[in-house]
Amino acid sequence: MTPFDSLVEMGKKEMKKETGLGLSYKKDENFGEWYSEVVVNSEMIEYYDISGCYILRPWTMTIWEIMHDFFDAEIKKMKVKTCYFPLFVSPGVLQRKDHIEGFAPEVAWVTKSGESELDIPIAIRPTSETVMYPYYSKWIRGHRDLPLKLNQWCNVVRWEFSHPTPFIRSREFLWQEGHTAFATKTEADAEVLDILELYRQIYEDYLAVPVIKGKKSELEKFAGGLYTTSVEAFIPNTGRGIQGATSHCLGQNFAEMFEIIFENEKGEKAMAWQNSWAYSTRTIDGSVLSLMPGVATQSGTVQVIVVPVPFKDADTQSILDACSDTVKKLTEAGFRVEADLRDNYSPGWKYSHWEMKGVPLRIEIGPKDLAKNQVRAARRDNSAKVDLPMANLVEQVRDMLDDIQKSLFNAAKEKRDACIKVAKTWDEFVEALGQKKMILAPWCDEEEVEKDVKTRTKGEMGAAKTLCSPFDQPELPEGTLCFASGKPAKKWSYWGRSY
């Protein structure tokens, strides 16, 4: 152990003792406890005095803003416009038909203002289809009013009663919800996939989380819609799938319900085709955090942290100046970079602190670096350290961050892929489920069979269900049978436990 390493070691101990920043749980041993601890200790979340509500701290909100800026710019290129519909929903609108049945038990109701009872209770939106579409009916009259493409960034409330969990199952969350209407199904179908591709980019290119694009089963699709597509992630540590963002084709079901009718080019009455699509702060969930330590460089709040490493006999001010210069240089080059110049913590403490927060690249500057006109760069993902000459710092930092992003994604993909198991029979399926796998199985695509699988796999860990039928289908030789029913299989589908 070099003197330097021992300094780091000291720093870590000091941190644990003095500030409780250390983690008591290990990711691989107790994921749930580790997760609860890491979201707080990394300053992403603060627990709040109402169950299921969480404070999203700047570390989380910066990730959210980065995803917002990317997605918002992309949909604006697609001519989607921003709107804002009210938080409150009158009961008549909410109680329209079967769509809302799925949400009814989770709806929060306002019944009082000040000391007065309201004449009729008012709901808080769990989603806005039924809020918005009466107005689509009003605004859409002729074919020239189509397509109508609106999106809003807002909060929604789903008062779930299952165990509240930060991000994954918070009762209030932030999201975008896009609601579009077209003259033809062809246009609607195309948009569903365009949006889904943007969601894949958010997960894979920004958050470095591998996802599978596919279609949900009839049982799992959006209530009232025609079909649902999604990106599905998987958490190896818990062996659970997690539904990412969803892009729904609503078909003409809502158009019929809300009379969204237009005069087409031939002067005939026609019904609009609709989509809705959403991703939320629930996206910053276990699948993302399962990657920590090592949050992705594209979405990281701070990509580079600069830490001065002063020594007794060295010129501390010059070191601090070099740190500030480095921050300036990298900031100007477009990186999100900060220096930790606090004088009441040791370098070792700072290393642990920023590791905990998942900063992918650390730059250390000590007297030797100063003398050689270089900095020392330490990667978060593989602990590799390398000296970088100041002369081409920007290029090298860019290369390293790109490489970290790729490595993180590849490592996560390898780990995820190792969880995938093909099961052709019920026995293979049950065995794989016991091993917490994500199971790819030939399926007859019948709703009753999915219900039956749920019943047969019920247990302490929760039942298995379909995650999605991947767009990227392996070959399905003629005569292949459904793993569960023994009937002819129609498609490959992913199954597993999920959040």
Cβ proximity to a second copy: between 112 and 312 the closer is 112
- Label the pairing between strands 261-263 and 45-47: unpaired
Which residue ranges make up the site for a second copy (CB under 8 A)? Answer: 46, 48-50, 53-58, 60-62, 64-65, 81-90, 92-93, 104-115, 121-122, 124, 134-135, 138, 144, 150, 154-155, 157, 159, 172, 174, 342, 344
Report in angstroms how near the CB of residue 58 gets to a second copy at its nearest. 4
DSSP for residue 204: I
Tell me whether residue 176 or residue 493 sits nearer to a second copy (CB atom): 176
Query: Could you give the CA distance from residue 375 to residue 322 in angstroms, rounded to a whole number?
Result: 9
* Of 119, 2, 20, 499, the residue nearest 290 (C-alpha): 499
Nearer to a second copy, 57 or 424 (CB): 57
> Cβ distance 293 to 356 under 8 Å?
yes
| Minimum gap (Å) between residue 429 Cβ and a second copy | 35
Least distance (Å) from a second copy to the CB of residue 110?
5
Q: Least Å distance between CB 318 and a second copy?
A: 23
Cβ proximity to a second copy: between 173 and 206 the closer is 173
CB closer to a second copy, 98 vs 106: 106
Spatial distance between the Cα atoms of 145 and 139, rounded to a whole number of angstroms = 7
Smallest separation, CB 296 to a second copy (Å): 19
Beta bridge partners of 123: 89, 109
Q: Which is nearer to a second copy, 57 or 413 (CB)?
A: 57
Nearer to a second copy, 57 or 456 (CB): 57
Q: Are 253 and 226 in contact (CB under 8 A)?
A: yes
Q: Shortest approach of a second copy to residue 271 CB, angstroms?
A: 21
Closer Cβ to a second copy, 29 or 115, answer by number: 115
Question: Minimal CA–CA distance to 157: which of 15, 53, 305, 286?
Answer: 53
Q: How far is the CB of 384 from a second copy (least distance, A)?
A: 31
Place of tokens 């403490």: 349
The answer to whether 208 and 408 are in contact (CB under 8 A) is yes
Task: Identify whether the C-beta of residue 387 lies closer than 8 Å to the C-beta of residue 369.
Answer: yes
Strand ranges in 220-332 using DSSP code E only, listed in sequence order: 227-235, 240-251, 261-263, 269-271, 273-280, 304-308
Shortest gap between Cβ of 20 and a second copy (angstroms)? 13
How far, rounded to the nearest angstrom, does the alpha carbon of residue 201 sit from its chain's CA centroid?
Answer: 11
d(CA 185, CA 249): 9
3-state secondary structure of 410: helix
442 burial type by CB count under 10 A (0-12 exposed, 13-18 middle, 19+ buried): buried
